[in-house]
Every structure is written in structure tokens, then in C-alpha cells.
């Protein structure tokens, strides 16, 4: 069982470059989330999706865009990377429900912006 798969696992970018992080889940989950994790801070929600074709802003959406063209995939884009976006990014998914379903996490993508 693959669960939630994130690619790539590591990436180094230069300021101003763009990239896309891919999250794929094989559990037929409706809800998908992108978080960032920084030292001394909890997981912070960037964007989320409640189903194919939907996206919504989370707590820290600035500088990021997302797309959910297929139910199993949730893409996180950085249009013009900034050093403040250096972080570990986690994708998660859940079956559905208003917070009463556990979230399943990927292994994370470590992103460094120079």
C-alpha cells in the first residue's frame, strides 16, 4: 500500500525559480492538504482541497498555488521561490468529514531556497 506519496523528497532552488511538488494518494480520499513545517512551529496549512476540481486557502497561502485536476493528485506550486519558503512540506489526505477522520501523511519534501 503506497498511501500518500510525495515527489520529490529533496530539492534545492535558487531565489526566483519555480517548481511544483506532487502529492498522490491511492486511498480514494476526498480531502487533501498541503502543510509546511518549520522549526519551533506546528504544521501550518497552506492550501487544501475537498474534492476533485476544488481548492481553498489555508493559514499561510501566500506565494503558493495549488491544483486538484484529478482526485488522486494534489499539486503545490511555487511560482517565484523565496528564501522564506525554505521548509519541509507535507501532504496529507483524509476520507472526508469535518475533522473526525484521521489524516494520512506523506513522507515530506525538504525544500531549500538559496
Partner 1 sequence: ILNVEQSPQSLHVQEGDSTNFTCSFPSSNFYALHWYRWETAKSPEALFVMTLNGDEKKKGRISATLNTKEGYSYLYIKGSQPEDSATYLCASGNAGGTSYGKLTFGQGTILTVHP
Residues binding partner 1 (CB under 8 A): 4, 31, 33, 35, 40-45, 48, 50, 56, 58-59, 90, 94, 96-108
Of 81 and 106, the one with the shorter C-beta distance to partner 1 is 106
Least separation, in Å, of the C-beta of 94 and partner 1? 6
Contact 22, 106 (CB under 8 A): no
Least separation, in Å, of the C-beta of 53 and partner 1? 14
Q: Report the alpha-carbon distance of residue 61 to residue 46 in Å, rounded.
A: 5
Of 85 and 109, the one with the shorter C-beta distance to partner 1 is 109
Q: Report the alpha-carbon distance of residue 47 to residue 56 in Å, rounded.
A: 6
Q: Report the alpha-carbon distance of residue 49 to residue 67 in Å, rounded.
A: 9
User: What is the four-CA torsion angle of 76, 80, 84, 87, rounded to 10 degrees?
Assistant: 30
Of 77 and 108, the one with the shorter C-beta distance to partner 1 is 108
Least separation, in Å, of the C-beta of 91 and partner 1? 9
Residues, the chain: 114
Of 17 and 60, the one with the shorter C-beta distance to partner 1 is 60
Amino acid at each position: 500500500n503506497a498511501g500518500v506519496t510525495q515527489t520529490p523528497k529533496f530539492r534545492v532552488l535558487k531565489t526566483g525559480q519555480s517548481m511544483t511538488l506532487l502529492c498522490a494518494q491511492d486511498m480514494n480520499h476526498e480531502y487533501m492538504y498541503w502543510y509546511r513545517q518549520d522549526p519551533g512551529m506546528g504544521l501550518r496549512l497552506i492550501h487544501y482541497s475537498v474534492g476533485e476540481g476544488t481548492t481553498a486557502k489555508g493559514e499561510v497561502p501566500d506565494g503558493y498555488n495549488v491544483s486538484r485536476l484529478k482526485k488522486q493528485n494534489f499539486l503545490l506550486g511555487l511560482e517565484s521561490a523565496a528564501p522564506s519558503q525554505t521548509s519541509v512540506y507535507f501532504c496529507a489526505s483524509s476520507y472526508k468529514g469535518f475533522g473526525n477522520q484521521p489524516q494520512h501523511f506523506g513522507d515530506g519534501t525538504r525544500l531549500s531556497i538559496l
